[in-house]
């Protein structure tokens, strides 16, 4: 083998090792990637039961119900569609009707979103970027500025 051929074999081998490493990293991350969806997107595109994603919007007025044993039922809306949510646990102190919320979980077979995480905005000027963008698309953004403030 000539020097040039050995160099090409070494470069090809290093490229193959990098490709395998990248493939392993992507396969490992596949289960941890969680996408954001608004209620209107879920209604339009549909989401298979059991697929984890983040659901964001506003907590619908009059929709919060406490079902006992720390179970809370509420609806998340973006003005175009509404998704029923069930959450077991302690809610953030700022969680209330009409406020922005991002929940993480999955739909069950009946179309109920079962959340295992609930995040509420932390002050008057904060709204998660995804929620603000979805509300602007629905024409419900009511903040004083043109662009929504984000974290």
**Quick one: pLDDT at residue 17?**
97
Distance CA 61, CA 44 (A): 23
Angle at 13 between CA 8 and CA 18, to 5 degrees: 125
**19 and 59 part of one domain:** no
Q: Calculate mean pLDDT across residues 86-98.
A: 89
Query: Would you tell me how many other CB atoms lie within 10 Å of the CB of residue 135?
Result: 23
**77 and 121 part of one domain:** yes
**Quick one: pLDDT at residue 127?**
58
For the cut 90, the answer to whether the pLDDT of residue 88 exceeds it is yes
Query: Three-state DSSP class for 10?
Result: helix
For the cut 80, the answer to whether the pLDDT of residue 151 exceeds it is no
**Quick one: pLDDT at residue 131?**
65
- The domain of 74 spans 35-138
**95 and 21 part of one domain:** no
**28 and 75 part of one domain:** no
pLDDT tens-digit map of 19-65: 999 999 988 887 677 788 888 888 888 888 888 888 988 899 999 99
**20 and 42 part of one domain:** no
Percent of the chain with pLDDT over 90: 36
**Quick one: pLDDT at residue 138?**
65
Q: How far apart are the first and last CA of the chain?
A: 58
Distance CA 143, CA 124 (A): 10
HSE value, Cβ hemisphere, 13 Å, CA-based, for 97? 8
**Quick one: pLDDT at residue 45?**
85
Q: Is residue 143 part of a domain?
A: no
Q: Which residues have C-beta within 8 Å of that of residue 126, sequence separation ≥ 6? A: 149, 150, 151
**7 and 48 part of one domain:** no
What is the Cα gyration radius of the chain? 22
What is the chain's mean pLDDT, rounded? 83
- Max mean pLDDT among 50-54, 78-82, 86-90, 142-146 falls in 86-90
Question: What is the tally of structural domains in the chain?
Answer: 2
Q: Which residue has tokens 């009059």?
A: 62
Q: What is the DSSP letter of 60?
A: P
**128 and 68 part of one domain:** yes
Q: Calculate mean pLDDT across residues 86-97.
A: 90
- Please state whether beta strands 65-68 and 35-37 pair in parallel, antiparallel, or not at all (unpaired): unpaired
**5 and 75 part of one domain:** no
**Quick one: pLDDT at residue 139?**
67
Q: Is residue 44 part of a domain?
A: yes
């Amino acid at each position: 083998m000539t020097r040039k051929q050995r160099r090409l074999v070494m470069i090809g081998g290093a490229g193959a090792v990098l490709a395998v490493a990248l493939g392993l990293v992507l396969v490992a991350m596949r289960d941890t990637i969680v996408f954001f969806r608004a209620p209107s997107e879920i209604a339009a595109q549909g989401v298979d039961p059991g697929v984890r994603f983040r659901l964001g919007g506003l907590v619908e007025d009059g929709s919060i119900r406490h079902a006992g044993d720390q179970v809370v039922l509420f609806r998340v809306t973006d003005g175009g569609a509404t998704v029923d949510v069930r959450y077991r646990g302690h809610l953030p102190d700022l969680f209330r009707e009409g406020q922005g919320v991002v929940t993480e979980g999955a739909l069950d077979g009946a179309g109920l979103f079962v959340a295992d995480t609930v995040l509420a905005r932390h002050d008057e000027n904060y709204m998660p970027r995804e929620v603000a963008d979805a509300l602007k698309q629905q024409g419900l953004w009511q903040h004083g500025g043109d662009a929504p403030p984000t974290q």
